[in-house]
Amino acid sequence: MSEGSFIKKELYAKVKLVELIKRINTRYRYKDIELWILGSKVEPWTSSIDLGRVEIDLKRTSHISELREILAIERSRGRKIALIPTMGYLHQGHLALVERAKQTGAFTVLSIFVNPLQFGPHEDYSSYPRDLERDAHLAEVAGVDVLFHPTSEEMYPWPMVTYVEVCQLDRVLCGAKRPGHFRGVATVVSKLFHIVQPDSAFFGQKDYQQYLIIQRMVRDLNLPIEVCPVPIVREQDGLALSSRNVFLTAEQRQEALILSQSLDEAEKILRAGERSARLLETHLREKISRGSQGMIDYVEIRDAQDLSEVINIERPVLVALAVRFGSTRLIDNKVLEVESLVENDDEI
């Protein structure tokens, strides 16, 4: 082939790539794409094509088999895989998980799946906020490598008879108030772990109990996955980011600040020397009832390692709150370590 015709073909390939990238940026359907450059087929999930020196960033698929093909290629290139499981309607809290995952240098898989198995019959499964195209855009900007957004049929093609249950840890807090919730969570996360086979998985401490449950599941089942916790991301005024915040009226949004304010107050009270978990819980309940119209689901202080009951606060504790504002149930929490509070006092 003469140099001239080579360059011509290369240019043609580049033009095709640019067209392709435009399509990717608008509405990329992974299956639609077949890419040929200089007579050889280039797999559409190729993350960088030498010839064109153009990066194709966004890959998205709703198919388990396609995701596995993409991951097999990345793995064969020596990439580690990081998984960020979400239910979508992304916000900065989710994106903080992506950022942490990307910092490890891993190939990042963001899953979006509103998992019917973890919703009770009277919960908000059907009204849970969903906007896949918006999420895809946010994921792309955040540098996610693959967006996996399976349908319910893809995840549960036949009625499930196999479940994963992480006992004890799922009997308290949200587990006690939402029977079957953590069985649904552990089952779907376990399925995602088997589909993706990640080296690491990222979970927000916003759902602290969920993080502990997944960490325990991984330990108990000897899964070779590092479970990485990520601190809670809050609005400037303290409200923990949550996909469900969109359901709050302006008034409820204002009242919901009582959650983070109560957690801050718990810290202050501990710092001042109070050590009785029951007294502290009572104080927080009164504060929430006085300061808002929120209906308390629970206000509890538990051991931060295993969620066991705490009488005297001596070890690190989890202060956990669940409160309903209208039909919107919000959760928030803070881990408090008495020793570090005392140390800080000494420093002052």
Q: Annotated active-site positions, please?
A: 94
- In the bound state, the residue with its beta carbon closest to ligand AMP is 204
Closest approach, Cβ 221 to ligand AMP, in A, equals: 19
Does the annotation flag 88 for ligand binding?
yes
CA atoms within 13 A on the CB side of 211: 20
Q: Are strands 226-230 and 295-303 parallel, antiparallel or unpaired?
A: unpaired
248 binds ligand AMP (CB under 6 A): no
Does the annotation flag 261 for ligand binding?
no
Closest approach, Cβ 63 to ligand AMP, in A, equals: 21
Pattern of binders to ligand AMP over 196-215, x per CB under 6 A?
-------xx-xx--------
Ranges within 301-320 binding ligand AMP (CB under 6 A)? none
User: Could you say which of 190, 209, 242, 260 contacts ligand AMP (CB under 6 A)?
Assistant: 242
Alpha helices in 223-330 (DSSP H): 250-255, 257-271, 277-291
The residue written with tokens 């559409």 in the block is 44
Contact range with ligand AMP by CB under 6 A, out of 2-10, 90-98, 161-169, 295-303:
90-98
Residues shown for the chain: 348
100 binds ligand AMP (CB under 6 A): no
Does the annotation flag 169 for ligand binding?
no
User: Could you say which of 96, 225, 331, 336 contacts ligand AMP (CB under 6 A)?
Assistant: 96
Please tell me the count of residues contacting ligand AMP according to CB under 6 A. 17
Cα–Cα distance, 234 to 240 (Å, whole number): 4
Contact range with ligand AMP by CB under 6 A, out of 91-99, 139-147, 164-172, 317-325:
91-99
Does the annotation flag 156 for ligand binding?
no
Does the annotation flag 205 for ligand binding?
yes
151 versus 312: smaller Cβ distance to ligand AMP: 151
User: Could you say which of 44, 93, 150, 198 contacts ligand AMP (CB under 6 A)?
Assistant: 93
Closest approach, Cβ 139 to ligand AMP, in A, equals: 12
Cα–Cα distance, 230 to 219 (Å, whole number): 19
Amino acid letter, 233:
V
Q: What is the DSSP letter of 324?
A: E
59 versus 94: smaller Cβ distance to ligand AMP: 94
Amino acid letter, 164:
V
Contact range with ligand AMP by CB under 6 A, out of 24-32, 42-50, 233-241, 334-342:
233-241
Phi and psi, residue 146, nearest 5°: -135, 135
CA atoms within 13 A on the CB side of 131: 11
Nearest to 213 by CA among 182, 172, 181: 182
CA 260, 262, 266, 271: dihedral to nearest 10 degrees?
80
User: Could you say which of 87, 95, 192, 225 contacts ligand AMP (CB under 6 A)?
Assistant: 87
List of long-range contacts for 182-187, beta carbons under 8 Å, 24+ apart: 182/118, 182/209, 182/210, 182/213, 183/117, 183/118, 184/115, 184/116, 184/117, 184/118, 184/119, 185/115, 185/118, 185/210, 185/213, 185/214, 186/213, 186/214, 186/217, 187/117, 187/160, 187/162, 187/163
Which residues sit in the known binding site for (R)-pantoate?
118, 210
What residues make contact with ligand AMP under the rule CB under 6 A? 86-87, 93-94, 96-97, 203-204, 206-207, 230, 232-233, 240-243
Which residues sit in the known binding site for beta-alanine?
118
